Amino acid sequence: MRMTKAFIPTLRSTPAEAEIISHQLLLRAGYIRKSAAGVYTYLPFAQRVLKKIEDIIRDEMDKAGGQEVLLPIIQPAELWLETGRWHVYGEEMFRLKDRHDRDFCLGPTHEEIITDLIRGEVNSYRQLPLRLYQIQNKYRDERRPRFGLMRGREFIMKDLYSFDKDEEGLETSYQKMYQAYTNIFTRCGLKFRPVEADSGAIGGNVTHEFMVLAENGEASIVYCDDCDYAANIEIAPCQPVEIGNEKEDIKPLEKVHTPNVRTIDEIVKFLNVNPQKCIKTLFYKADEQVIVVLIRGDRNINEIKLQKVHPCYSLELATEDEVRDITGCKTGFIGPVGLKEVPIYADLEIKNLVNAVSGANEDHYHLVNVNGNRDFEVTGFYDLRFVEVGEQCPKCKSSLKMARGIEVGQVFKLGTKYSEALNAKFLDENGKENLILMGCYGIGVTRTMAAAVEQNYDANGIIWPKSIAPYHVVVIPISIKDEDHIKNAQKLYEQLIDKGIEVVLDDRNERPGVKFKDADLIGFPIRLTVGKKTVIEGLVEYKLRTEQESIDVPIEQVVNKVLEYLNT
């Protein structure tokens, strides 16, 4: 490809709307353009990156027994009414009507469509297992589409659905996909972690998320360097950690005047007490019911865990008025002592606290020497907090670390959720009718491209991993007015093409500085510069995008050097 012919409209400045690095760089480097909020056009260089990611995915899906299909984007409402998700999906679903006033949606996902296909076509165990996948657009009408390709309303996904006759088969499908995903993200040149994750509304089922590690990632991950443990902090289990005063003698309960002392920080200062000894009391509104949560003063409540203990659709902190109705005081002075007729969920660590501090349920008063067994009763003790750096790994007891990640894939055992709702059955070896066991396995293709940028960039632009770079090499003649420069560059360009290397010749009439800047911004893995040194000494400047320094390579060795780099 010649740069003068390439449609790669780079920008000199960063568009103001772009909040995160991948969004900024993909716009600036001429990969994407916005068509509407959360809807993008992929320009030729982006399309090349996406195709490379898709090719890697296809190869691994096929190796794992997948067969590619293409399911419709437009889906009839009837199927979604059958599973009950037409209403559950709410405003996130793009809905439309045809000329006969029939309801349809733009597929946010494809469980309904594919299960409908399978119930019509599969009726015997002999037809199982089956693993079908597609690479297809998905539509979700996000309330706040943002972060470029990270949270779009139209995006490309690979989704595979597995159909098995028993648990053992489902486990095999799951393991095959887990391994395929590991291969895919490794081949894409990304640093990632499979992590144990929240199974959401279905609960109890096995699921892993594949996270690309990146500073700006939305998700927090705890992981262990000494074993393979890694989990999303939403679900990472916590063991109670002792604070060292568990042997202290239990002292008499005391009420102390604490004027205007409302926060944990203020209490710590005012009473000169360790925050670990304070009981943080939180009132939540769970649907229509008020519930109380107790947690140590130095910890953070994990609402996802709380929602597992107390299942509800909506969960938010109670208002000041709701708290006053129950306790008769302001939120800064509430505590568990004397609370009645509300469920009290206490974190596991509350159980071990001796002579703790809490609010007195009276404005401007706190209680000291609060002891759970003696002074208040709880509904139960549960793991309700977020794990923290340095706590013990649940597998090997080593010390946990934390990182941020971008979820690019998820593997999920669905079981019979959809086959039951849509009546997808088969006859087993004994002629008995059974529900088909399903799994679903997604990869965000456009998201993977953005995540690759989030993980691989510097102040000058994108640093594509070589396996997914739009082109491998850019050849830059220093001056296009110098015939010798052009001739050498042209020759090198043709030699590289002959070897099947994807190369761009920057034949624009621009200063070398401009070309170097664009080469860095676009993110070619290898830059070859042809100039005076080439003409006089037969040397080409060879520079990797990942390195600061360039080296001089004899022109006749350049092609091999490039091949060597690309093949390792």
- The footprint of Zn ion (CB under 5 A) covers 224, 226-227, 229, 393, 395-396, 398
Concatenate the DSSP letters of all residues of 407-472 into one string.
Answer: EEEEEEEEETHHHHHTT-EEE-TTS-EEEPEEEEEEEEHHHHHHHHHHHSEETTEE---TTT-S-S
Residue 439 — φ and ψ, nearest 5°? -135, 155
Q: Smallest distance from the beta carbon of 211 to Zn ion, in angstroms?
A: 17
Query: How many angstroms separate the CA atoms of 296 and 234, rounded?
Result: 18
Residue closer to Zn ion by CB (options 222, 278) is 222
- Whose tokens are 């949560």? That residue is 293
Residue closer to Zn ion by CB (options 168, 225) is 225
Residue closer to Zn ion by CB (options 224, 367) is 224
Residues in contact with 426: Cβ distance below 8 Å, sequence separation at least 6, in sequence order: 122, 123, 124, 125, 127, 128, 165, 433, 434, 436
Q: Smallest distance from the beta carbon of 395 to Zn ion, in angstroms?
A: 4
Q: Smallest distance from the beta carbon of 64 to Zn ion, in angstroms?
A: 28
Residue closer to Zn ion by CB (options 251, 395) is 395
Query: How many angstroms separate the CA atoms of 33 and 159, rounded?
Result: 25
The two three-digit tokens of residue 156, written as one number: 């490309």
Angle between helices 44-63 and 445-455 (to 10 degrees): 110
Residue 469 — φ and ψ, nearest 5°? -65, 145
Tell me the residue length of the chain.
568
Burial (CB count within 10 angstroms: exposed 0-12, middle 13-18, buried 19+), residue 337: buried
Q: Smallest distance from the beta carbon of 228 to Zn ion, in angstroms?
A: 8
Residues in contact with 544: Cβ distance below 8 Å, sequence separation at least 6, in sequence order: 525, 526, 527, 565
Residue closer to Zn ion by CB (options 147, 229) is 229
Q: Smallest distance from the beta carbon of 403 to Zn ion, in angstroms?
A: 15
Please tell me whether the peptide bond between 512 and the residue prior to it is cis, using omega within 30 degrees of 0: no
Residue closer to Zn ion by CB (options 163, 229) is 229
Residue closer to Zn ion by CB (options 210, 229) is 229
Residue closer to Zn ion by CB (options 224, 360) is 224
Residue closer to Zn ion by CB (options 257, 395) is 395
β-strand partners of 105: 75, 95
In contact, 117 and 436? CB cutoff 8 Å: no
Q: Smallest distance from the beta carbon of 538 to Zn ion, in angstroms?
A: 55
Q: Smallest distance from the beta carbon of 239 to Zn ion, in angstroms?
A: 13
Q: Smallest distance from the beta carbon of 193 to Zn ion, in angstroms?
A: 13
The two three-digit tokens of residue 82, written as one number: 């059958």
Closest alpha carbon to 467 in 477, 459, 456: 456
Q: Smallest distance from the beta carbon of 385 to Zn ion, in angstroms?
A: 20
CA of residue 81 relative to chain centroid, distance: 29
Q: Smallest distance from the beta carbon of 237 to Zn ion, in angstroms?
A: 13
- Whose tokens are 């927090």? That residue is 220
Query: How many angstroms separate the CA atoms of 20 and 153, rounded?
Result: 17
Residue closer to Zn ion by CB (options 231, 301) is 231
Residue closer to Zn ion by CB (options 319, 398) is 398
Query: How many angstroms separate the CA atoms of 153 and 510, rounded?
Result: 38
Count the neighbouring beta carbons within 10 Å of the beta carbon of residue 323: 23
Burial (CB count within 10 angstroms: exposed 0-12, middle 13-18, buried 19+), residue 46: buried
Count the neighbouring beta carbons within 10 Å of the beta carbon of residue 526: 25
Q: Smallest distance from the beta carbon of 98 to Zn ion, in angstroms?
A: 55
Query: How many angstroms separate the CA atoms of 409 and 446, rounded?
Result: 11
